C-alpha cells in the first residue's frame, strides 16, 4: 500500500494531559491507491515497565559458572482499543485519498505521571495499525505526557526548614583531630524553577583544608521480580551542583546556596508500585590526601504546585500551550465526551473512579512545560515493525515556574 501520510495528532499541541482529563485528537491516513485491508485499529495504552539483567555465580560439578537472571515488572494503567474502520476478521477495500478518524479517551484519575528512566518507565502511547491480510501491517505510534499533580501545600511540614548536622574527625598516624562540622538549613519542598536557598555552614577545627559543594541528587528505585525472587535497583544522578568554596584550617564559613531546580518529575511517582523517586539535597566536604569525603544528606520534596506563600514571587507568563489547563489542580474533572459518529472512536475508562474536583488556586500564575533534562527514552518495542511511523524518541514535559 502506498502511504503518502500517516500520523496521529493531539488537539493539545503540547501533548500534555493531567490525570482525569480527556485526550482528544485525530488520525490522518493518505493513500495513493485503494487497497484491501481487514481494518484500522487504534490502541491507547498506559503502562509501567521495569527490567534489568543480573549475573549470578553458581557452582556446578565443582566449576564456577555465570548465569543471568532477568528481573521484570509490569503495571497497566490504561489499555483500550477500538476499530476505527473494519474489524479483526473479514476484508474491506480502503479507497485512495485522505482518511481522518477523530478519537477521544478519558484518562483514569489514579494513574502515575509519565517517566523515563534507566531501568524502567511509565509511558502513555497511542498506536494505530492498518491490518492487511497476508502482508506486513502499517503502524503509527506516538507518546504523550500524563501528569498527576503533587501539591506541596498538602504535604506535611513543608513550611518548616530542616536543620541537619554532621561531624567528622580526621585520623592520621593514630592522631585524631577535629571535628569538621557541616550544618545545612533547608526547606523541604520545591517546584521546578524554584531556587533551593539553603544556608550551609562549615566549621573546621583541623589543619586540613575542606572543599565544600552542594548538589541536588535524584534517586530512582526500581522494583522487579525473577521467579519467586524480588529485588531492587537504584539509579542515582546529580541533577544540579554548586561549588561553595574552601575552608582553611581552624576557620569557618557560611554560604547561601543558589541552586535552581530544573524540569523534573515529582517525588514519589504516586500510583506506581514498581518505581519510586526521591530527591536529596547533599552537602559534601572533600579533603586532600587519603581522607574520605563527608556527606550531609537532607531529603527534599519536588512537587508540581508550590507553597502558597511563594505565589506572589512567580512571574505571570502566558502559557506556551493554551490548550493545557493554565491552573494546576489536585484533580481535574474530565471534559464531556464527544458525541459518537460514523468515523469517531469514543473510548471510555470503565475502571476509572469519579474524578475528585481539585483545589483551585486563582492567584497561581500558570507554569510553562519543559522537557525533562535527565529522562529521554525510545518508545519502540518488540511489537513495532520497521514500517512503524511516528517519532520514537520521547521525553516527558513537566511544569516549570518562573520565579523573580
**Together in a domain, 119 and 186:** no
User: Does residue 293 sit in helix, strand or coil?
Assistant: coil
| Strands 175-186 and 97-106, bridge-based pairing | unpaired
| Cβ-Cβ contacts under 8 Å for 236 (sequence gap 6 or more) | 217, 218, 219, 220
| Strands 175-186 and 162-172, bridge-based pairing | antiparallel
Is the pLDDT assigned to residue 175 strictly greater than 70? no
Q: Which of 257, 275, 303 is the last residue of a domain?
A: 303
Which residue reads 475528585 in cell numbers?
A: 356
**Together in a domain, 145 and 172:** no
**Together in a domain, 246 and 263:** yes
Is the pLDDT assigned to residue 165 strictly greater than 50? yes
The whole domain housing 133 covers 3-149+312-400
Is the pLDDT assigned to residue 132 strictly greater than 80? yes
pLDDT band, residue 357 (cuts 50/70/90):
very low
Cα within 13 Å of Cα(212), Cβ side: 27
Which residue reads 488537539 in cell numbers?
A: 11
What is the C-alpha separation between 148 and 143, in angstroms, rounded?
16
**Burial letters 270-296, b for 16+ CB under 10 A, else e:** bbbebbbbbbbbbbbbebeeebeebeb
Is residue 361 exposed (0-12), middle (13-18) or buried (19+ Cβ within 10 Å)?
middle
Dihedral sign, Cα of residue 388, residue 77, residue 300, residue 195 = positive
**Together in a domain, 156 and 299:** yes
pLDDT band, residue 64 (cuts 50/70/90):
confident
Residue by residue, DSSP assigns 64-111 as: EEEEEEEEEEEEEEEEEEEEEEE-SSS-EEE-SEEEEEEEEEEPPSS-
**Together in a domain, 209 and 261:** yes
Pick from 275-279, 305-309, 333-337: least confident: 333-337
**Together in a domain, 297 and 170:** yes
Pick from 42-56, 112-126, 312-326: least confident: 312-326
**Together in a domain, 156 and 277:** yes
Is the pLDDT assigned to residue 23 strictly greater than 60? yes
pLDDT band, residue 223 (cuts 50/70/90):
very high
| 268 phi, psi to nearest 5 deg | 80, -40
Q: Which of 303, 333, 362 is the last residue of a domain?
A: 303
**Together in a domain, 14 and 102:** yes
Please tell me the total count of domains within the chain: 2
**Together in a domain, 379 and 270:** no
**Together in a domain, 142 and 160:** no
Cα within 13 Å of Cα(42), Cβ side: 27
CATH number of the domain where residue 349 is located: 2.60.40.640
Is the pLDDT assigned to residue 334 strictly greater than 70? no
**Together in a domain, 52 and 135:** yes
**Together in a domain, 281 and 320:** no
pTM across the whole model: 0.87
Q: Which of 303, 331, 350 is the last residue of a domain?
A: 303
Amino acid at each position: 500500500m502506498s502511504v503518502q501520510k500517516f500520523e496521529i495528532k493531539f488537539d493539545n499541541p503540547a501533548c500534555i494531559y493531567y490525570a482525569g482529563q480527556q485526550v482528544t485528537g485525530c488520525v490522518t491516513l493518505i493513500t495513493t491507491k485503494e487497497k484491501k485491508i481487514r481494518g484500522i485499529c487504534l490502541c491507547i495504552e498506559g503502562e509501567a515497565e521495569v527490567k534489568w539483567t543480573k549475573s549470578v555465580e553458581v557452582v556446578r560439578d565443582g566449576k564456577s559458572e555465570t548465569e543471568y537472571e532477568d528481573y521484570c515488572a509490569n503495571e497497566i494503567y490504561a489499555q483500550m482499543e477500538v476499530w476505527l474502520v473494519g474489524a479483526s476478521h473479514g476484508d474491506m477495500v480502503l479507497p485512495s485519498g485522505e482518511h481522518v478518524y477523530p478519537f477521544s479517551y478519558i484518562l483514569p484519575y489514579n494513574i502515575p505521571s509519565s517517566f523515563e528512566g534507566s531501568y524502567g518507565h511509565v509511558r502513555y502511547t497511542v498506536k494505530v495499525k492498518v491490518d492487511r491480510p497476508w502482508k506486513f501491517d502499517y503502524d503509527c505510534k506516538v507518546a504523550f505526557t500524563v501528569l498527576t499533580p503533587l501539591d506541596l501545600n498538602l504535604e506535611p511540614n513543608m513550611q518548616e526548614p530542616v536543620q541537619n548536622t554532621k561531624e567528622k574527625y580526621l585520623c592520621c598516624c593514630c592522631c585524631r583531630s577535629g571535628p569538621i562540622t557541616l550544618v545545612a538549613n533547608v526547606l523541604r519542598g520545591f517546584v521546578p524553577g524554584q531556587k533551593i536557598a539553603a544556608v550551609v555552614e562549615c566549621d573546621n577545627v583541623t589543619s586540613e583544608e575542606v572543599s565544600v559543594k552542594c548538589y541536588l541528587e535524584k534517586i530512582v528505585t526500581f522494583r522487579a521480580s525473577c521467579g519467586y525472587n524480588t529485588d531492587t535497583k537504584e539509579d542515582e544522578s546529580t541533577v544540579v551542583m554548586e561549588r561553595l568554596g574552601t575552608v582553611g584550617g581552624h576557620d569557618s564559613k557560611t554560604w547561601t546556596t543558589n541552586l535552581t531546580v530544573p524540569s523534573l518529575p515529582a517525588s514519589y511517582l504516586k500510583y506506581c508500585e514498581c518505581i519510586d523517586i526521591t530527591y536529596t539535597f547533599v552537602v559534601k566536604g572533600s579533603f586532600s590526601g587519603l581522607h574520605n569525603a563527608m556527606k550531609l544528606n537532607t531529603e527534599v520534596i519536588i512537587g508540581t504546585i508550590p507553597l502558597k506563600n511563594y505565589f506572589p514571587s512567580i512571574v505571570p507568563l502566558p502559557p506556551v500551550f493554551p490548550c493545557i489547563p493554565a491552573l494546576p489542580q489536585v484533580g481535574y474533572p474530565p471534559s464531556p465526551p464527544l458525541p459518537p459518529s460514523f468515523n469517531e472512536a469514543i473510548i471510555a475508562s470503565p475502571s476509572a473512579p469519579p474524578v475528585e474536583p481539585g483545589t483551585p488556586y486563582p492567584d497561581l500564575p500558570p507554569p510553562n512545560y519543559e522537557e525533562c533534562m535527565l529522562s529521554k527514552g525510545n518508545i519502540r518495542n518488540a511489537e513495532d515493525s520497521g514500517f512503524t511511523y511516528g517519532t520514537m524518541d520521547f521525553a516527558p514535559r513537566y511544569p516549570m515556574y518562573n520565579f523573580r
